[in-house]
Amino acid sequence: MDGKKLAVGWFSFTCCEDSTILFTELLNDHLDEWKKLVDFKYVRQLKTKNSIEGLDVAFVEGAISSAKQEAEVKKIRDNAKYVVAIGACACTGLPSASRNDFKDEMITERIQWYMKNFDYSQKVRKLEEVIKIDDAVPGCPMNAETFMAMLTKYLKLFSIVPA
């Protein structure tokens, strides 16, 4: 409307990144339209110069599986007015959190090696177990129509497009 753009970030944690793939596919169809409305401040998959400061909306895909990821997602929360959980792992923890149900006898030396060497937490957590989320786009991958509606919701909320 007045040249203002929605400042967004796209972040990915423990998951298969299928929603990120779908997001990049949506960019194929909507980039020309979106770049007039959206300032993509952080999209690691698409650009090298990224910033999490001053985000209007952070779209976060994936479950949280380490103390390092917990610290990162808390920093994102501190820098975003709204956070939207994207995909099944962010919304429910699963399937990434399936290891939470491993019995002791299932935890082989190889699994112990991964846990230690990658500094994984004992439990994998869905996003809202770590930070406050404002909205969610479920699915594995995310539902594209729901994502589009969510983006439109925030474009209207921030008066980027007419309500």
Which amino acid, residue 52? I
Confidence of residue 139 (pLDDT cuts 50, 70, 90): very high
Whole-model pTM: value is 0.93
How much is the average pLDDT of 146-152? 98
Q: Where are the beta strands (DSSP E) in 76-146?
A: 80-86, 120-125, 135-137
DSSP letter (8 states) at residue 43? E
As a whole-number percent, the residues of the chain with pLDDT over 90 amount to 80
**Inter-helix orientation angle 18-34/144-157, to 10°:** 50
Residue 94 phi/psi, 5-degree rounding, is -100, 145
Question: How far from 114 is each of 81, 118, 121, 134, CA to CA, in Å?
Answer: 35, 6, 11, 32
What confidence tens digit (pLDDT) does each residue in 34-90 have?
999 999 999 999 999 999 999 999 999 999 999 999 999 999 999 999 999 999 999
Closest by CA position to 133, among listed 57, 25, 49:
57
The structural domains of the chain, ordered by start, are 6-157 (3.40.50.700)
